[in-house]
Structure 1
């Protein structure tokens, strides 16, 4: 049975779309998902399901709308896909003494070649990014909140739904999925 990680976009941010993690876990369990684990308040849910990723995503979006009256974009990846994201990082070494930090933006679908080319025009010396498949790897050399390459910017430039997690969260989700799977 596949083990998935659902990344909910835009919950519990600035007092908007507030969802307690125990309520979120209950919703996932009520949908028949198994071995459900939530992690931190930003909307990370690990679970097992026999269904395919598109069906799982559509069911989750529909159920959240039904139960909470929130339209919440959801990005789904398998645990193996998460591991691949970590293994493919172009930023294997960072300079922590210079406050470099890694972030991963997960895309809902492949952006067009035109949109990717447009995004490339925004490369700069302060922060850098690389798009590999459905993943944007960010190397932030200052505060993420001050970076041009925040989630809203990437969504707007790429024209797809996206959600961003820091490197530590991505790795913690893999660990939790393996321990609880």
Structure 2
């Protein structure tokens, strides 16, 4: 089994969903993952999970909920999938910290994408390519014109976003 990039949505943001990275690593190891490492405190992990990666992701979700009392989606991709998503990024990268990849739990329905196109985004841009939502914020994610939560609701699938600096670092760590 090859190494995977494992992400958990919405932890350690504004005092909600507190999850220490040491505990995140311990949960993965308790479920059979090897070579586990984390990167920054926002739920980024690289590991070699057991053979059934989908079952591992769902087991991680259950373990977080049982241990910490909150549910968060766990989304993983192979290194190759993340490299392909980064290479497919459709926007000019002016500032890597203003450009994001949001890894989705599933491919959004074409009707949902069409509905989301009606949202006001100002100068911010987005595009769905497969299971990834590509974002570019004109003034950074801290001052978005696009409301990512509204976009996620319109698309009908959960996701977790990382800026391109973080994506590149996770690709490097997954070697």
TM-score by length of 2: 0.91
Q: What is the aligned counterpart of 1:139 among 136, 141, 147?
A: 136
What is the aligned residue count? 175
What is residue 106 of structure 2 aligned with on the other side? 109
Give how far 1:124 is off.
4.7
Rounded Cα–Cα distance in structure 2 between residues aligned with 1:124 and 1:69:
34
What is residue 118 of structure 2 aligned with on the other side? 121
Rounded Cα–Cα distance in structure 1 between residues aligned with 2:13 and 2:93:
28
Rounded Cα–Cα distance in structure 2 between residues aligned with 1:172 and 1:53:
21
What is residue 161 of structure 1 aligned with on the other side? 158
What is residue 2 of structure 1 aligned with on the other side? 2
Contact 1:100 1:139 in 2 (8 A): no
Rounded Cα–Cα distance in structure 2 between residues aligned with 1:70 and 1:142:
32
RMSD value, Cα: 1.8
Rounded Cα–Cα distance in structure 2 between residues aligned with 1:95 and 1:44:
24
Rounded Cα–Cα distance in structure 1 between residues aligned with 2:147 and 2:163:
12
What is residue 146 of structure 2 aligned with on the other side? 149
Three-state SS of the structure 2 residue aligned to 1:146 is coil
CA deviations on 1:60-114 (whole Å, 9 max, x unpaired) are 11111222222111111111111111111112x3334xx9821111110111111
Contact 2:86 2:101 in 1 (8 A): no
Moved over 4 A (4+): none
* Structure 1: runs of 5 or more not aligned: none
What is residue 95 of structure 1 aligned with on the other side? 94
Rounded Cα–Cα distance in structure 1 between residues aligned with 2:9 and 2:162:
10
TM-score by length of 1: 0.89
Give how far 1:145 is off.
2.6
What is residue 68 of structure 2 aligned with on the other side? 68
Contact 2:50 2:56 in 1 (8 A): no
* Structure 2: runs of 5 or more not aligned: none
Three-state SS of the structure 1 residue aligned to 2:19 is coil
